[in-house]
Chains A and B, each alone.
Chain A
């Protein structure tokens, strides 16, 4: 019996098989077959949540009673825009970017120039500078917290330069600077690698031509290397600005038990603001409205950067 149906299956299966073969060979079908897994996951886990973020932002919705969520118009937005803490959070995000981005861009360029020279052991140094980038942010933050606790040799050292001998991440004056320090330490390896690949793309004969014209080392750097690195610098600044706005792990790690953004809100950012309201307090509507505002800020920055780039040609 089984043999019979097997045989029958094979015979009647033939046309079916060729239809399958057609599907696997025609562009029209194959294209959709190949993007289908992505599209299904995307609709389910990106598009739907994305729309929800907007819809919820106009609702009074709490996680515990999502069924009773009701439309309240712009109330969430109005409340956020009247919250002093929100502006503080925006300002902190901006501060992180304003302090860290120039430093890590400059540091990355310096490191790249150093490891691009013919020095012994430059490979080892390149690794040393890059390793923080692939280490988890939580691990680095943890180590720095231990290093910047009151009474260690580092706080002692900085104490001599007018910083108090205090626990940095627990002091409202230094906590945000501490976050910047973490971001710079971690990300300079990334900017170095990107700059390094840029340095290696500069055509060698340009330098030779410069030497014939009698250009000094500095002039060669100023008039040959720097113009070449311009697009890369733009890339680095735009990427690290966006990454800076998204910082979360470091701040979560220094906020022991307390509310995100501790001490006393000194490290609150737009991200911790929406996380605190949307996920910790489970106030889905209010949190979503904060997320939409975060999204608008990011889009605004991206737009400005693009405009700047287009103007410069």
Chain B
């Protein structure tokens, strides 16, 4: 019996390591290939033949200005996350803790928005952004995305769990209900706000459909769109492409490793409650 348990454990380790290697392989291949030269592709060479030459190109050529793309992505993502951090909690709080006429309708709107795929409105959004002259501007890339139905719903769920006495006590101390929200309830939502920011951050940072539609001039590329153009440009030069992949995905990976715990908790919470 004991022996059987032992072989069982060995099998488990074999399975998890094999799957782990399978999942890690594309990443390892990418990192390795980004350091070698074209003629060494798909062969293993020692560290004496590795170099940063492929990376260097991305910082010295204006046609694929990775630092500029990074800045564009950072600006776009920051504005979107900031908007979501203000607009969603306000709406979520109103739906959870404030009694007003038409609340049921607003709630219904939030749920419907959450369920309808964005593709449904992409063409008119593109037309409207173009007619405002907002193509290739941060206005076009951010203003339509400052709120999200799903996050309003998430915030509402959190605020429902906040005891009403907190707000009443704050009002006895002289705060208005609005003051009680910003000073007492909003800080209480800290962990929900962090989860929402992380989801909004990675979602916006990695988005391709919207930025590639609304901003297609190279100086307004975000990293993901830039990477796609680099891939087409250097198609026969795998090491150059791989260096591009590393450069454009590194920021989000660093971000993920910093907030891994909250991120995974956020995902599983959405799964269990959904």
Contact = CB atoms under 8 A, between A and B. Distances in A.
Interface stretch (B26-34, B55-63, B64-72): B26-34
B72 to A, nearest CB: 15
Contacts of A129: 19-20, 23
Interface string B223-256: 1110110011001001001101100110011001
A112 to B, nearest CB: 10
B23 A24 contact: no
Contact of A136 (B130, B248, B264): B248
A145 interface: yes
Contacts of A256: 231-232, 235
Contact of A38 (B91, B206, B212): B91
Nearest to B232: A256
A41 interface: yes
A119 B103 contact: no
Interface string B118-143: 01111111111010000000000001
Given A33-B178, A193-B264, A302-B115, A142 B231 contact: yes
Contacts of A44: 144
Nearest to A152: B42
A114 B19 contact: yes
A144 B26 contact: yes
Contacts of A302: 115
Contacts of B101: 28, 31
B27 to A, nearest CB: 7
A236 B267 CA distance: 12
A288 to B, nearest CB: 6
A27 to B, nearest CB: 5
A115 B264 CA distance: 14
A79 interface: no
B121 A53 contact: yes
A85 interface: no
Contact of B143 (A41, A137, A149, A197): A41
B contact residues, range:
35 or more
Interface in B37-78: 42
B171 A142 contact: no
B231 A145 contact: yes
Contact of A37 (B24, B87, B202, B274): B87
B43 to A, nearest CB: 10
A136 B212 CA distance: 14
B27 A131 contact: yes
A42 B75 CA distance: 22
Given A31-B103, A38-B147, A56-B124, A136 B272 contact: no
A32 B100 contact: yes
Interface stretch (A4-12, A172-180, A207-215, A244-252): A244-252
Contact of A194 (B13, B103, B271): B271
B46 to A, nearest CB: 19
Nearest to A115: B16
Given A35-B90, A42-B109, A279 B122 contact: yes
Contacts of A134: 202, 206, 252-253, 256, 263
B26 A25 contact: no
Interface stretch (A70-78, A94-102, A158-166, A290-298): A290-298
A143 B123 contact: no
Contacts of A194: 267-268, 271-272
Contacts of B248: 136, 139
B208 A252 contact: yes
B47 to A, nearest CB: 21
Contacts of B12: 114, 117, 119
B94 interface: yes
Interface string B143-187: 111110000100000000000000000010000111101000000
A149 B228 CA distance: 17
Nearest to A29: B100
16 contacts: A24-B177, A30-B98, A38-B87, A38-B88, A39-B106, A41-B87, A48-B128, A52-B121, A115-B16, A126-B264, A130-B264, A138-B231, A242-B117, A246-B119, A252-B228, A295-B116
Interface of A: 21, 24-35, 37-39, 41-42, 44-46, 48-50, 52-53, 56, 63, 66, 110-111, 114-115, 117, 119, 122, 124-132, 134-140, 142-147, 149, 151-153, 185, 190, 193-194, 196-198, 201, 232, 235-236, 239, 242, 245-246, 248-249, 252-253, 256-257, 271, 274-275, 278-279, 284, 287-288, 291, 294-295, 298, 302
Given A38-B87, A63-B130, A294-B119, 19 more contacts: A21-B176, A24-B178, A30-B100, A41-B87, A41-B143, A49-B121, A114-B19, A134-B206, A136-B252, A138-B228, A142-B241, A144-B26, A153-B42, A249-B209, A256-B235, A271-B119, A274-B119, A284-B123, A291-B119
Going nearest first, the 7 A-B pairs with the smallest beta carbon separation are A31-B100, A197-B268, A194-B271, A49-B124, A34-B94, A45-B144, A24-B178
